[in-house]
Structure 1
């Protein structure tokens, strides 16, 4: 009888231990309408729709609540804030270029977000790069000629904003036709379609934000999105006391009759 009693107690003890282990290893089940109030420092916090609307490129949303994406975008925005730049040069360039660039992009069916590429490409300095790229769209001589620009000893149409924008539209549209993604088209504009195609096949991944690319290309679209955010919301990032055509005064003031 004692032996049977010991066996029964042992079985009960084992069942209790298993039961407790299951309790502590199982995720809690909440009611359907329960919302966990967990503080988040990510730029991309719920609701996802709001985050995607705030941070996107050419209506292609960034991955929501992705720590790597969040870090890279925060870093890029901080780099282009007034605290680091200490001038209104970006907004000044935008005021001069955007009225010319925007209608050309629209005519070629290119998303308006591509207008920020010249701000990223020409940056604060502009001019000619060490590799020979020139103009606000930073065309190399061979690429410029391929898309209809004259580049020789007497003339360099890379410096003509209107003509170079038309050439850029032709190039971007071709890249979109190859990758079927405006984000990848922007990345290819920076890195070249051949290198990007190789990276896609090697990594078996065609989402720019999940790919591992070289330092410049890997941060390129983030810079464009950061530029878009800063130009659209200047005061939020420390820019004050400037006039921008993007915040136009009302027409009746007579400022548009010149």
Structure 2
């Protein structure tokens, strides 16, 4: 009996040892395969830098070494900062159609939509200096161009009105410089700041200026997004229209009196206060005082527009967005 137990124990021990040895070999093989596969499959490429690119119809002198390398830097950053650039693609699908016709109506080149994109990422953020909205307007500039800002309202967060205000600034700056590249730089550094540097350095081109790091990168960030949006697949972004944020269709409600309680107002339309705020971020509080009978335009989503999946109905599932939209699966 003892011999039988001893034999069974030995058989179990040997079997376990063999199994562990096989598992150890498999683990080593798996690890070896893992790293082989990693080496074979993982690739990082240096994306193409366009030699012929313009900003607002003005040719970029990419044959100058530091111009080319500054542009390449921003293309690398935006190509390989995948999560951020993906979000820019998604948001741009919703907001470019709002901005583009306003730029066109004000004779501002369409390339300036990328300026708003790099300023805010199409989020209603507030900068450390107090600039707000998609166009990152400072309070003084905003009020100078007709935007209302008080404790209840901040029209810097009204995309249509803030785009109009930005257009007024851009048009004024262009009358001064006669050059759209300098206009873009002045949006970051100020007209007086750019003019002072032009005078001090005795040049007349943005690309010849030696200025602070932020402004020296500013236009190249715009150009990088223009290049990537013009040809997404060239930079590794294989997306479909269905992957992007859909446009929200809404009705406009004219209001010429006070709204004492916006949550109650929202309930009258079977909406939440949150939904009203999402479509009308210029409203800051739960009330809208209006003693002057000013007409405010409040966006109310059309039927089914609060259902995200219905919003996305009809979006193409073929490969191709923006510059690649013509591509078919």
SS at match of 1:86: helix
**77, 89, 92: which is aligned to 2:90?**
92
**99, 118, 135: which is aligned to 2:116?**
118
| 1:129-153 CA distance string (max 9 Å, x none) | 1110000100011110011111111
The verdict on how the C-alpha distance between 1:66 and 1:249 changes in structure 2, with shifts beyond 3 A counting, is closer
Q: Given that residues 92 and 122 in structure 2 are in contact (C-alpha distance below 8 angstroms), is that contact kept between their aligned partners in structure 1?
A: no
5+ residue gaps, structure 1: 1-40, 45-50, 251-258
Q: Give the root-mean-square deviation of aligned CA atoms.
A: 2.1
**204, 207, 212: which is aligned to 2:205?**
207
The verdict on how the C-alpha distance between 1:226 and 1:42 changes in structure 2, with shifts beyond 3 A counting, is closer
Q: Given that residues 93 and 119 in structure 1 are in contact (C-alpha distance below 8 angstroms), is that contact kept between their aligned partners in structure 2?
A: no
Runs of 4+ in 1 over 6 A off after TM superposition: none
Q: What is the distance in 2 between the residues matched to 1:84 and 1:109?
A: 33
Q: CA deviation at 1:222?
A: 0.5
Which residue number corresponds to residue 179 of structure 1?
177
| 1:70-125 CA distance string (max 9 Å, x none) | 100000011111x2233510111211111011111111111110011111000376
SS at match of 1:117: helix
Superposition TM-score, scaled by structure 1 size: 0.73
The structure with the larger Rg is 2
Moved more, 180-189 or 226-235: 226-235
Figure out how many residues of one structure are paired with residues of the other and give that number.
201
Q: Given that residues 102 and 164 in structure 2 are in contact (C-alpha distance below 8 angstroms), is that contact kept between their aligned partners in structure 1?
A: yes
Q: Determine which structure has the larger helix proportion and give its number.
A: 1
Q: Given that residues 175 and 185 in structure 1 are in contact (C-alpha distance below 8 angstroms), is that contact kept between their aligned partners in structure 2?
A: yes
Q: What is the distance in 2 between the residues matched to 1:140 and 1:118?
A: 14
Q: What is the distance in 2 between the residues matched to 1:124 and 1:162?
A: 13
Superposition TM-score, scaled by structure 2 size: 0.58
5+ residue gaps, structure 2: 1-46, 245-320
Q: Given that residues 142 and 156 in structure 2 are in contact (C-alpha distance below 8 angstroms), is that contact kept between their aligned partners in structure 1?
A: yes
SS at match of 1:80: helix
